[in-house]
Structure 1
Amino acid sequence: MPAGSALFSENNLRSFTTSIFLQIGCSEAHASLAADVLLRADLRGIDSHGVARLAGYVRLWEKGRINATPDITIVHETPTTATVDGDSGLGLVIAPFAMNLAIEKASVYGSGWVAVRNSNHFGIAGYHALMAAERQMIGMAMTNASPLVAPTFTTERLLGTNPICYAFPAGNHPPVVVDMATSAAANGKLEIAQRKNDPLPGGWVQTAGGESSTDAHALKSGGSLLPLGSDREHGSHKGFGLGATVDILSAVLSGANYGPWVPPFVSFIDPLPDLPGKGIGHFLGAMRVDGFRPVAEFHHHIDQWIDRFKAAKPIDPLQPLIIPGEPELQAAHDRKKNGIPLVDAVVSDLNTLAEKFNIQKLEG
């Protein structure tokens, strides 16, 4: 366990997180679901998107940007597609609603696709994509985010980290889960480095003038994240293209805000300026495997795919090939057994919330 951190049980953190969501006015069902999304991130080792984000959701609620009791509605629909308006609710609640709708449509018609507007940060994309994989469907989830990424050849922040996830069910193996930001690194990794006072690897951020930097605080002085690939010579135009695709599917298609107009996760601009759309946007999809071939045949071949890739000759015998989703699954096994590590700065933030709402503090 890293220095300056403590272990907490899943049940302890789940109870605490649910209590905070109840305190801001969420229903028991919404509070439980929102806590589940955050805990899944912590269990899977994605610490940047777990309970460390809880204080941010509370600040959004305090600023009136999160509606704790949203009326989530379907505003446009065909047999296989829909657009959902989240009524400024928690993305942690709205995105599962939308994915369940996509799964329902896929159950009947073979595939379902749902665009979302008027939402907020939805946690890890993997949570939502795995909802489909758990139903033996192929799941896809993506979201746009506040602008921190400068497209190739620019210094202006125009895109978010805009994560995308695909989840593929398997037979004898766990699902293959490709869950990634379309930037060189997720903003949450910068926040982790800031809390630990660590430098960043090269190629993650640039200064306001476009020079490479390893300063975890570079964004606070006008810098920006770089697209996946870091620079043109290493394929950043591909990361820019992926980020643009997420932005268009999530927001231009749904009526949410896009590009530089996506509201920040926690706004220090009060009030927000006039925006072209509603909230942030998501895009979720589910496809039935048997819409393409018998499920048993697919399971056989994806298991064979996994086995063959796992047998790839490694450069270093101590570092074998890793199937997408394996590290997160291993982290979940370990953390369910041994506890979830939280750095002291996160514990302090959470206990500040406990004081604010007069609930029991966390104790490692």
Structure 2
Amino acid sequence: MASRQRTVKERELRTFAQQLFVAAGVPEEHAVLIANVLVWSNLRGVDSHGVLRIPGYLARLESGLTNATPKIRVTSDLPAAAVLHTDAAFGQVALARASEIAIQKADAAGIGLCLVRHATHMGAIGYFTLEIAAEGMAGIAINTSRPNMAYPGARTAGIATSPIAIAVPGATHAPLMLDMATATQSMGKIQLARDAGKTLGEGWAIDAEGNPTTDPQKAVIPTPLGAHKGGGLSLMFECLTSLMVGNPLIAPFLEDAPSAKNHMQNGLVIAIDIAKFGDLGTYAKEVDRLACSIRSLPRAKETKEILVPGERGDRLLEKRRTFGIPIPDGTWKRLKDVATNLSVDMPSFE
């Protein structure tokens, strides 16, 4: 049975999130950034990566897995690439700095790559690719984690739900933005189903014994998107990020290395300066043209409208900015627990 939900205005929810992080010892500048990214996720309907994540973030902070005041430093600096050691920073803080570096490199060399080493949960990485697109560039982001997803054919976790996001600027059309996990559905979607009292879709997850389940209370491991396709992508993302920065996450975990069970993420951000390869205005118009062509394709019988990447989220963002953000009862209760512990007032709701 679905649980009740409360509706909170964007500003109220953002302020509440900021206050929680500041009360937990996070510098205000970082608290603002993290809250912005989380609430942006809620606005776009990606509730699995919104404020639902706050209790987990604060638990990692309290346990020392996340560093509230990291010493972020560049450990390798090349004309078009860099490696950023983020000292267990919040993932949003790490990606913001990595995006700045990638943009700077792209501005000088046409393309910029910034590899990220030792961050924590990065959230909705599409936020940062859109920031890059706003600079007239194409943005790509990938992140990896310890195993939390079944490898095809296995009954235990062997790889991560590692996402990829890509954004490109349009002219009059909003930027196209794809943000997807390599899992059928992310762990956040499973937690959201628990909070909302809803069953899972068929094929989303398996239980502790490796059996398929639609019960969110029994689901412990997501399944890879498209079986070997999602599984293969996740594995190769580990090769492009974790192995590249000398911080492997999957193999140590599977070998039961002492510290391998601790939460940690690596990643990368790429910026491509479109103007270095052609006319930016022409490119943006071609993005618009492509989107229009796709949307005008003949529709299948049950399809009301064809959308391009990012369009559904853009529309929902405008709707939720007007009418508020729904918070499931389970999420509300978990937020109330941490708010009480930190002496922070809950936001007003409808």
Range of TM-score over shorter length:
over 0.9
- C-alpha deviation, 1:19, in angstroms: 0.9
What SS does the aligned partner of 2:159 have? coil
Say if 2:286 is the partner of 1:295.
no
Question: What residue number does 1:20 align with?
Answer: 20
Say if 2:212 is the partner of 1:227.
no
Unaligned runs of 5+ in 2: none
Distance 1:244-1:62 versus aligned 2 partners, 3 A rule: same
Of all paired residues, the percent bearing the same amino acid is: 29
Say if 2:116 is the partner of 1:119.
no
Say if 2:296 is the partner of 1:305.
no
Q: Aligned partners of 2:259 and 2:92: how far apart in 1? A: 25
Question: What residue number does 2:329 align with?
Answer: 344
Equivalent position amino acid for 1:314 in 2: R
Q: Aligned partners of 1:98 and 1:274: how far apart in 2? A: 25
Say if 2:318 is the partner of 1:321.
no
Q: Aligned partners of 1:72 and 1:262: how far apart in 2? A: 25
| Worse overlay, 151-160 or 251-260 | 251-260
Question: What residue number does 2:31 align with?
Answer: 31
TM-score (norm 1): 0.90
Question: What residue number does 1:76 align with?
Answer: 76
Distance 1:262-1:297 versus aligned 2 partners, 3 A rule: farther
Question: What residue number does 1:335 align with?
Answer: 320
- C-alpha deviation, 1:151, in angstroms: 1.5
Q: Aligned partners of 1:254 and 1:36: how far apart in 2? A: 28
Question: What residue number does 1:174 align with?
Answer: 174
Residue pair 1:257, 1:278 contacting (<8 A) in 2 also: no
Q: Aligned partners of 1:213 and 1:320: how far apart in 2? A: 31
Q: Aligned partners of 2:154 and 2:303: how far apart in 1? A: 40
Q: Aligned partners of 1:306 and 1:51: how far apart in 2? A: 31
Residue pair 2:190, 2:219 contacting (<8 A) in 1 also: no
Equivalent position amino acid for 1:253 in 2: M
Question: What residue number does 2:148 align with?
Answer: 148
Question: What residue number does 1:47 align with?
Answer: 47
Question: What residue number does 2:246 align with?
Answer: 255
Residue pair 2:146, 2:261 contacting (<8 A) in 1 also: no
Query: In the alignment, which of 333, 338, 345 is matched to residue 353 of structure 1?
Result: 338
Residue pair 2:213, 2:219 contacting (<8 A) in 1 also: no
Residue pair 1:257, 1:279 contacting (<8 A) in 2 also: no
Name the structure, 1 or 2, with higher relative contact order (CA <8 Å, separation 6+). 2
Residue pair 1:351, 1:362 contacting (<8 A) in 2 also: no
Distance 1:13-1:278 versus aligned 2 partners, 3 A rule: closer
TM-score (norm 2): 0.93
Cα RMSD after superposing both structures:
2.1
Equivalent position amino acid for 2:122 in 1: F
Unaligned runs of 5+ in 1: 230-235, 264-268
Residue pair 2:117, 2:267 contacting (<8 A) in 1 also: yes
Question: What residue number does 1:88 align with?
Answer: 88
